[in-house]
Each structure stands twice: as C-alpha cells, then as structure tokens.
Structure 1
Amino acid sequence: MEENQSMALKPQTMTQGPIGRQIIIFSLPLLGSSLIQQLYNTVDLIFVGRFLNPSAAAAVGAGSLLVFCALGIFIGLSVGTGVVTARYLGAGDYERVNKTIHTAMAMSIYGGAVFTLLGIGLAPLLLKLLNTPQEIMAQATLYIRIYFCGFMAMSSYNMGAGILRALGDSKSPMIYQLIGGLGNVGANFLFIPILGWGVGGSAVATLCSQTVAALLVFLHLVRGNRYYRLRLKGLSIAREYGGRILAVGIPAGIQGVVVTLSNLLVQSHINTLSINSIAAFTAYFRVELFIYLPILAISQTAGIFAGHNIGAGKLNRVRKGTRVCLAIGVITAVSLSGSVLLMGEHLFALFTNSKAVVAIGLELAKVTFPFYFIYVFLEIFASVVRGAGKAIPPMIIILVTLCGLRLILVNVFMHLWPSATSVAVVYPLTWLTAALALGGYYFLGKWGKQEG
C-alpha cells in the first residue's frame, strides 16, 4: 500500500505507454502557452497603438529587441534545465533532479538580479548603440528600465516552466501564463487609458503580469511532492549541475538570439521593397504563426520525450518517438498549410484591408507554405539531439544554414531579382539545407550516448 502511494507521488515520465497519445496530450498545453504569449504581445501593441501616440509605439519597439536578446539567454537556460532535469528524471535519479531544480532556480534569481541592474544602468547607452532617435530616447529609456525591473520574474518563470515541463507537467505553466496574461490585459487597461501612465504603464503592466506568473510557478515548486520540492534554504548554484545546464542552455540561447538578429537583417532587405511588399511580409509572418506554433509545440515535446527516455536508457523508444513526432508534425504542417492556403485571402484580410497587400501575401504563402513540412524535420531533429544533451551541433547547423546561408542567398537573389518572391524563395531552400544537415547528424551522430 505504501509503495503504491509512493509511486503515485513520483513525477510522470514518457518512458512507458502509447507514444502518439503522450506526444499529442503533452503538446497541446505547449501550443496553448505559445498562443497566450502571442496574446501578451498583441495586447501591448493594441493598448500602446490605440491609446498613445506614434512616438510611444516607436519607443516600445525600439527597446523590444534589447529585451528579447537579454531574455533569450534565460530562455536558452530554461531549455538546458529541462534537458538535464528530464534525463535525470528518466533515469529515476530523484536526488539529482532535486539538485538540478535548486541550481536552476538559484541561477534564474541571481542571474535575473544581475541583468536587472545592468539593464537599468546601461539602458541609455544600449539604446544609443541601437541608433534610437533622440526624440523617443526618454520614453524608450523609461520603458526599458521598468521592464528590466521585472527581469528576475521573467527569468524565474521561464526557468520554473522549463522544470515543470521536464517533470511531465505542461498544463500548469500554461494555466499560470494564462492568469498572468489576463492580468496583463487588466493592468494595461488600468495603467494606460485610466491612469494615463503612458509607455511606463505598458511596462508596469508587463512587470505585474510576469510577477504573478512567476510567483505561481514558484509556489507550485515549493508545494511540490518530496521528489522535487523546492526549499528556499536549498537555493544555491552547484557547479556540476550549473555546468550541465550551461552546456545546453548557452548554445540554445545564442542560437535563438542570433537567428532573431539574422531575421532583422533579412527584414532590412525587405524594407528596400515597396510599402505594399513590406506590409505583406508583416501580415505573412503573422499568418505563418498558425502553422509554426503547433510545429514548435510538437518539437518541444520531442525534446522532453528524448530526455526522459535517454535517461532511462531507452534509445530505441527515442527513435520510435522521433518517427511518431515527425509523422504527427508532417500531418499537422500539411493540413494547416493547405487550410491556410484555401482560406488565405480571409486570413490575410485580418491584418490588412489592402487588396494589393493581400495579393502579395498570398503569393508569398504559395511559395513557402507547400514546403512547410520540411521545417518539421529540422525542428524535431534539433530538439531530439538537444534533448540528448548535445546542444552545440544543432546550434552550429542552424546558425550556418538559417543565418549564414540565408543571408547570403537573400543578398544574391535580391541583387539579381529584387522582389518579395525572391526573399520568400530563400526560406524553403534554407529549411531544406538545415533539415538535411540535422537529419545527417541524427542518423550518423553519437547523440544518444548516455552520460554520467
């Protein structure tokens, strides 16, 4: 009887049972979390755009890249934490799971505090380096400084969410983020149109909502069962576990930041086209989310699944799970791509009332969406290899293909045939190159080797 109760308390892994069902059930809350995150961004844009002047919106935009780059490092660390936690959990080594959790949360708190001080102190200098116009410098500085006051909460939420997902719980982070998102809507309404706090009000709203989500995750861990309960007195950075987290997290963080920066360079080429083409790409990237986010959720699940089963020494189950994830991902990508193409005119019309912009957007979609299933392979192969603790190979491959090669092709194509279609063609070409390289590493590499 006591043994059964003890087993019931143990965190759930994906080392046994029907793979397809586990992948789908685990992926859905991850998709929900991504959609809620988009809600955060959209709500901020709506309130700033509708209730404030264009300079305020520009001030928010000027600092967004800076914030994302800083937060990207901690998002990468949360990936590293999830990988390490999942492998120890799969191996049934609950003592190491516990030590990893305490190290990760200590890193998020101490690291978040350091980034808060740096962000507040260096905001004017960093904004100046980004060529922020002088007329919006004061508002942008205010926005960034308030935003960084909540950086510890943001880093703690991401780290805690990564831990919970690695422990087999993808629902709780989604629920906590939803509560924070609803709070964000209410706080924006209070601080901007009612209290008139302007740009600062938008930043304070984000600070409050992220703090609520972080506290909920923190309380969940503190009140967790004895296998992973977070104890305040145990918060410290153990070198062994911190090193393992950094080994996966730093490459993942660098990858995310560099890919974002490379996309900005691609955007600089797009900005040389007509106004309609620029608007069409803006709408295209939003419509693309309908396909991208479900694929992202499946690939994140593939990484956790790989971590659990490699930790348990079940490499054949990892390979089977990879095939299942690829099948689910391809079916999802083909179904959604086809649906989006069929309803493309109506979807693009959600983001623009210009028929010319809609027409260009549809042309872009026709070039890329039929090949979106290729993207499934690069995402899932990268996640599985990363889930095995090998973060550097996928980082190098993705940086070379989706950053380096993409920039080269955009420069060449735009020089020879300057048009929106020339930019669009580059995307499936680089997806294919990355998928082939990652697939080659997956089938030929020693990524499944168990570590101590």
Structure 2
Amino acid sequence: MKKLPTIFRRKGTAALDLTVGSPLKRILTFMLPMLIGNIFNQLYSMVDTVIVGQTLGSDALAGVGSTGAITFLILGFVSGLTHGFSVVVSQRRGAHDEEGMRKSFATGIALTVVIVSVLTVIALAVTKPLLTAMHTQPDFYPYAYQYLSVIFGGMLLSALSNQFASTLRAIGDSLIPLFFLVFSCVFNASFDCLFIMVFDMGVSGAAAATVLANGISALSVFTYMWIKYPMLRFKPKHFRPNLKRYATHLKLGVPMALQMSVISIGMIVGQTALNTMSPTEIKAYVTATKIDGLATSVLNTAGIATATFVGQNYGAKRYDRIKKGVKQYTIFMIIVSLALGATVIALHRPLVMLFISRAERTEALYAGALKYLVFNAGFYILLATLCITRSGLQGMGRGTLALTAAMAEVVMRVGVALIAMHYQSYTIVCMLNCMSWIGANIMLFPAFLATLRKYVPLFKPHAKFLHLPNPSEIPFTQPKEED
C-alpha cells in the first residue's frame, strides 16, 4: 500500500502503443498483466468456491455452480456491451484522437448506466422462472436463487468496473487494472470470510462480497484514470446526445453483448440437460468447470489482447501489423493451449480435492470430473483459435460477423444438449463445449481471413494477382470525429 501513491505520481503512462515495435512482443507484453490478473481472479474464484464447498456443503456448491449459465446470460451481455464500447476507444487511440477518446469514454458510460439499470430490473424478474424452467433440483434451488438475487441487484457496479478496466486496456494500459484487480480480490476474499464465516449469511454473503468488491474496484479504477490520463477526462459537453456517436458505440457493443447472450442460451440448454443427471454427476461437472475456468482464462485473455491490438492498428491503418501479429500470436497460443490441456488432465485428481470435502469424495466424482476435462482440455486448441479470430473481427469493427459465428456455436451446443437429454448421457453433456467451439471456428476463421483480405494481401504469391496496395504505406491522417 505504501507504493500506491507512487503509481499516481510517476511521470509518463503505463499505456502501450501497440501500433509500433515487434507485434508478438508487444501483444505478449500487453497480455502478461491481464493474464496474471485473470489467473489471480480465477484463483480467487477457486478460493471462493472452496469456502462455499467446505463450509456450506456440496449442495450449496452445486447450487451456486448451477447459476453459471444464467449469470453468463445477463452478466455476459453486460461484459460484451462494455467491451464493445472500449473497442471504439482503442480505435481512437490508434488514430491519436484524444478528443474522440473523451467523447467515446463518456458515451460508453452513459449507455452503460441506462442499459444496465433497465437490465437489472428485468434480470431480477426472470430469475425464478429461469431456474424453474431449467429444472433446477430442489436441493440446489434455494442456494441458486439467493445467490443470483444479490448478484443481479449489484450488477451496475460490476458493469462500471468492467467499463473502466476495459477502457484502460483499450488505450494500452493492462498493468494498472492488474493492481486494482488484486486489491479487489483481496477485499472479496476478506468479505467472503466475514459474511459467510462470521455473519453466517450463506451464499448471499458470497454474492454480497463480490458486489461490494466490484464497487470498490470501480471507484478505484476511475479515480486512477481521472488523475493519470488527461485524454480521458470528459466534460459535461461530452455527454450531449449525439445519435451518430451512440450508433457507432451500439454498433460494436450490442453485437458483442448479444454474442455473449446467444452463447449463454446454449449454456442454459446445456445446464438444463445437466440438471436431469444424477447429483454426483452434477457435482463432478460443477467442480470440473471451476478447474477448467482457470485454464481457459489464459485463452480468453488472448482474445482480449487481440481485440486491443487489432483495434489500435486498425485505427492507425496498420493492416500489415494485424496480419503479422495475429499469425504469430495464433501459433504461440496453439502451443500454450496444448500444454494447458495436458497439465489440467494430468492434475485433475488433486485439483478436485480442493473443492470437495474428504467425506464426499468418491471415485464416481473423480471419474465424472475427468470425463469433462478430457472433452474440454483436450480441445483447448479450438478455443484458442476461436478467441483470437473472434476478437480480431471485433477489433476491426465487425461485431456482426462475430455474432453470426456465435449463432453457429449455439446451434451446435443446443443440438448436443438435446441429444444428451434424449439419451440421458452425461458423456454427451461433457461434449457441449468442444462441439460448440467446432461450430464457431467453422464460421470465424474464414470470416476473419476474408475481412483481413480486404485490407492487405494474405499470401505473397497472390499479391500481384490481387493488386491490393498495402494501406500501411498510406500517410497517416487523423480521422474527423463527429461533434
């Protein structure tokens, strides 16, 4: 804590300009703090789950775990929305348009507050019907409902925290969000222990700890941004209604939000299929998803880094760097995904022990968790390419194409879930993710290449035939921002 004031006093900024230097080195430098932050966040989530599982029992753990699909439906929409707004900021950053950055930041905040406030009311109203429609088992239902009610009630704080952190990353600062994320997780863990173990608030206490930590994070990040980055200091005039500017943000934010929600529809159908399985299989699945989440956070971070890298270079018209950087980064992440998958499968047994008390550990539970991890960790390479190509399209402002790919992902997920329910097969439920990744990749990979080909030749032998100029050689001119 003694070093915190020096962060504000230090000259210069922690923001990286991703339009210059070695593409792969820049992406990795930008990604590393985010990766550490996401891993730390996942580790906290695991600690949170351990506290719930060890102190409140496996029924409470399964109840909270069964909320994942509904949580992703609502909070995923919010996350996609704020991330989409930040893409506009990254494009303005690449174009060196500081006034445009202020307008974009202010517009994003205004839209987030209005949309999320309405969404909060809707989410609280549909929680019970969704849990019932998903055939949530009676033993798990009370825990799921209590948890979701508190999480959705504090959704605006989570949205603003995401908004501010995404904006910092959009301008190339991925280091400072890490610091505040660590502080937030420490607060969260402390509040967990206080609310659950001292005040005996149960799963509501776990949810309240998350909401309160998000509020502290939002305030801290905004304070830092305001002090450190004059380029983001908006004024009341920047909130003036401007239909063209709102449309620009919604064009990127809404498709990314819908993409998350569309994917969550498939997850809800999958959770419904899971809820028809035995309690042991449900507990094994929930436990395995917590282990899986730590590994997939690495691949999801790759997507966030790609969106910022592509967004800045797209705004700077450095299309050659997009091609080179994404190619190098994809190869690197394929290697990482193979190593991750092998590690998760090999260590599944000791990892399962973290979440389940000794008295409730059974061979059936270990086997169920391993089956899930084989069908997920064994296919991380598909998730890696999906995250990179999807985020690359979003960085170039092609959110609608990414949404179309999400549709394919949902079709695969829903189809597999329906088959699983028909045959009452836990094995098929475990295949939901990998099948949806296949469906999304079939759409995303060609779409990304086709979009990039509009700006720069993809293959040297075809360059003369295509007669496409390299836009990176065009002298830079700052784009005009609407009033």
Both structures adopt the same fold (TM-score exceeding 0.5):
yes
Partner Cα separation in structure 2 for residue 137 and residue 354 of structure 1: 24
2:116–2:155 Cα contact (<8 Å) kept: yes
2:441 is aligned with 1:435: yes
Paired letter, 2:167: I
2:415 is aligned with 1:408: yes
Distance 1:334 1:176, change over 3 A: same
Residue number in structure 2 paired with 1:306: 310
Paired letter, 2:110: A
Partner Cα separation in structure 2 for residue 347 and residue 176 of structure 1: 27
2:131–2:141 Cα contact (<8 Å) kept: no
Paired letter, 1:161: A
Taking only the aligned residue pairs, the percentage that are identical comes to 25
Q: Which moved more, 1:309-318 or 1:181-190?
A: 181-190
Alignment of 1:120-269 (within 5 A): 123=124, 126-128=127-129, 130-131=131-132, 146-198=150-202, 200-231=204-235, 234-236=238-240, 238-269=242-273
Distance 1:89 1:261, change over 3 A: same
Residue number in structure 2 paired with 1:77: 81
Q: CA deviation at 1:229?
A: 2.5
Partner Cα separation in structure 2 for residue 363 and residue 138 of structure 1: 28
Paired letter, 2:37: S
Give 3-state SS (helix, strand or coil) of 2:254's partner.
helix
Partner Cα separation in structure 2 for residue 344 and residue 56 of structure 1: 22
Distance 1:54 1:235, change over 3 A: farther
Partner Cα separation in structure 2 for residue 142 and residue 374 of structure 1: 35
Residue number in structure 1 paired with 2:396: 388
Paired letter, 2:387: E
Distance 1:143 1:272, change over 3 A: closer
1:277–1:360 Cα contact (<8 Å) kept: yes
Give 3-state SS (helix, strand or coil) of 1:168's partner.
coil
TM-score by length of 2: 0.79
Q: 2:337 aligns with which of 333, 340, 350?
A: 333
2:17–2:172 Cα contact (<8 Å) kept: yes
Q: 2:381 aligns with which of 373, 377, 387?
A: 373
Residue number in structure 2 paired with 1:91: 95
Partner Cα separation in structure 2 for residue 57 and residue 346 of structure 1: 18
Q: CA deviation at 1:360?
A: 3.8
1:302–1:383 Cα contact (<8 Å) kept: yes
Q: CA deviation at 1:364?
A: 4.1
Partner Cα separation in structure 1 for residue 62 and residue 282 of structure 2: 17
Alignment of 1:8-47 (within 5 A): 11-39=15-43, 41-42=45-46, 44-47=48-51
Q: CA deviation at 1:79?
A: 1.4
Partner Cα separation in structure 1 for residue 400 and residue 22 of structure 2: 31
Residue number in structure 1 paired with 2:451: 445
2:127–2:149 Cα contact (<8 Å) kept: no
Partner Cα separation in structure 2 for residue 60 and residue 386 of structure 1: 32
Give 3-state SS (helix, strand or coil) of 1:227's partner.
helix
2:19–2:312 Cα contact (<8 Å) kept: yes
1:388–1:448 Cα contact (<8 Å) kept: no
Partner Cα separation in structure 2 for residue 112 and residue 327 of structure 1: 38
TM-score by length of 1: 0.84
Residue number in structure 2 paired with 1:3: none
2:386–2:441 Cα contact (<8 Å) kept: yes
Partner Cα separation in structure 1 for residue 29 and residue 397 of structure 2: 24
Residue number in structure 1 paired with 2:426: 420
Partner Cα separation in structure 1 for residue 173 and residue 24 of structure 2: 17
2:334–2:384 Cα contact (<8 Å) kept: yes
2:127–2:145 Cα contact (<8 Å) kept: no
Distance 1:156 1:233, change over 3 A: farther
Distance 1:52 1:341, change over 3 A: closer
Residue number in structure 2 paired with 1:397: 405
Question: How big is each residue's C-alpha offset from its partner over 1:338-364, in whole Å with a ceiling of 9 and x where there is no partner?
Answer: 222333443344445322322343344
1:349–1:358 Cα contact (<8 Å) kept: no
Partner Cα separation in structure 2 for residue 350 and residue 9 of structure 1: 40
2:300 is aligned with 1:296: yes
Q: Which moved more, 1:135-144 or 1:419-428?
A: 135-144
Distance 1:438 1:76, change over 3 A: same
Q: CA deviation at 1:383?
A: 0.7
2:262–2:406 Cα contact (<8 Å) kept: no
Gaps of 5+ in 2: 1-10, 456-470, 472-478
Partner Cα separation in structure 2 for residue 321 and residue 375 of structure 1: 18
Give 3-state SS (helix, strand or coil) of 2:300's partner.
helix
Q: CA deviation at 1:202?
A: 3.8
Paired letter, 1:439: F
1:101–1:163 Cα contact (<8 Å) kept: yes
Paired letter, 1:370: G
Distance 1:123 1:225, change over 3 A: closer
Aligned length: 441
Give 3-state SS (helix, strand or coil) of 1:359's partner.
helix
Q: CA deviation at 1:58?
A: 8.1
Give 3-state SS (helix, strand or coil) of 1:445's partner.
helix
Q: Which moved more, 1:330-339 or 1:45-54?
A: 45-54
